[in-house]
Chain A
């Protein structure tokens, strides 16, 4: 099957720090891929390079047929990057809802401002997505009146309302109180079930094991393992993977 996301030989430097080293990977349509690794392993940077929130130093990224080279610099490339962003929805660790807009306004902002969608149509779409994350009854609230878990579910609805081909999740539950993690993971499972292609940077091993089709393990700016979750958790190949899994196993009790 043709892949929908393809990263080839990606390098990223922060100053002199080499955070991604010739990273290549791909994601098939409807696939759910989790990226795990210790902090500083480069997993978030890899995700953020895919929609160009971070500018890669070298390499190529292809999203749904749009191929962007790191080295290009031109007007067409800016347009290409913009198009890639329209094909990807992003969910952040810190939610990043717009505090001056109500929940509904947050969710229709993208379609109306960026796509020029008719407001009534955007509202209908937004309400559908808010309903599917279980927060339609909060549509007129402002974000500061929501719990962390609710904020993140709105953020997911906001990204979905742009009708992306791929959803990128950057540690979506890391800023949440433990008792609120479940509701966000449940929404993510639902999104996966609906056939969305998902790339998820996470520390939630349970989620990775249960939902992911594939798990990538990153360490020191490289992908050190790429396997089915069952294989990964039962017989990790790399000692660093084993250490990572053991740490979470003991960590979660």
Chain B
């Protein structure tokens, strides 16, 4: 390149880069505006559909809105209790999966295989309907919680296994070299790091669980969202309105939890990893 043009280059190069950058920014903004607008159009279209072409019984909605909303508490209660047990089970199963002791390893893999090999719906019925034949009668709530915990525990064990494996060998060696016992190494060094790794995916599982908890309605004795929606919907043959109400509640719940989840995630990623 000629020395003269090279001398004038830095200035024009920066302004050129600036122009490119601004063009990219504009493009990104445009994309987001388009996406938002399309969402809005779809929503408005749905509102239009249900206010005209599709007949919605507004009186029914008004009469039953509070009754259906009353199920939110039970849905959240089942989900929180189940995710707690599921997390413990998942951690145990993951530790078992990494254990050098054959029976422990076998127990863990057997549990995960059996649970992942059968439907959640069947598992809920099993604890509610099959156990009474053996003289074990569980309330619907607990049958649901046990089934959800066992089911999610099996799937989530994979998350915790990945979390435990993400802690490098060097970390364990440093702990051992300091004289830590295997239990101290696990408690002080490995678990804190593994759990931090596992928190975001556990949040995802919790969000999924709030929706799978709807299956517990099948027992007929847990008055959560889905149960309430189907009850009033069937009784008055207004399933359309009832299910739409329940769907909106589930959806809003998911939106809120997802927002919480991404806040937790961004806080964790800012941390000291």
Contacts and interface: CB of A to CB of B under 8 A. Distances in A.
A100 B188 CA distance: 10
Contact of B177 (A90, A99, A145): A90
B178 A162 contact: yes
B177 A53 contact: yes
B176 interface: yes
B171 A113 contact: no
B260 interface: no
Interface string A125-152: 0000000000000000011110000000
Interface in B164-187: 168, 170-171, 173-181, 184
Interface stretch (B20-28, B149-157, B189-197): B189-197
A109 interface: yes
- Which of A90, A98, A145 has the most chain B CB within a 10 Å cutoff? A98
B273 interface: yes
A92 B173 CA distance: 9
B4 interface: no
A110 B180 CA distance: 8
B179 A144 contact: no
B63 interface: no
Contacts of B273: 99-100, 144
Contact of B174 (A96, A142, A144): A96
Given A53-B173, A92-B174, A109 B179 contact: no
Interface residues of A, number: 27
B: interface residue count bin: 20 to 34
A225 to B, nearest CB: 28
A53 B171 CA distance: 12
B272 A99 contact: yes
Interface in A106-129: 109-110, 113-115
B133 to A, nearest CB: 48
Contacts of A90: 173-174, 177
Interface string B115-155: 00000000000000000000000000000000000000000
A242 interface: no
A126 B181 CA distance: 22
A204 interface: no
A114 B174 contact: no
A69 B170 CA distance: 25
Nearest to B272: A142
Contacts of B184: 113-114
B177 A85 contact: yes
Nearest to B196: A100
Contact of B178 (A100, A110, A143, A144): A110
Interface of B: 168, 170-171, 173-181, 184, 188-189, 192-193, 196, 272-273
Given A100-B193, A110-B180, 11 more contacts: A53-B173, A85-B176, A92-B173, A92-B174, A96-B171, A96-B173, A96-B174, A98-B171, A98-B189, A114-B180, A115-B179
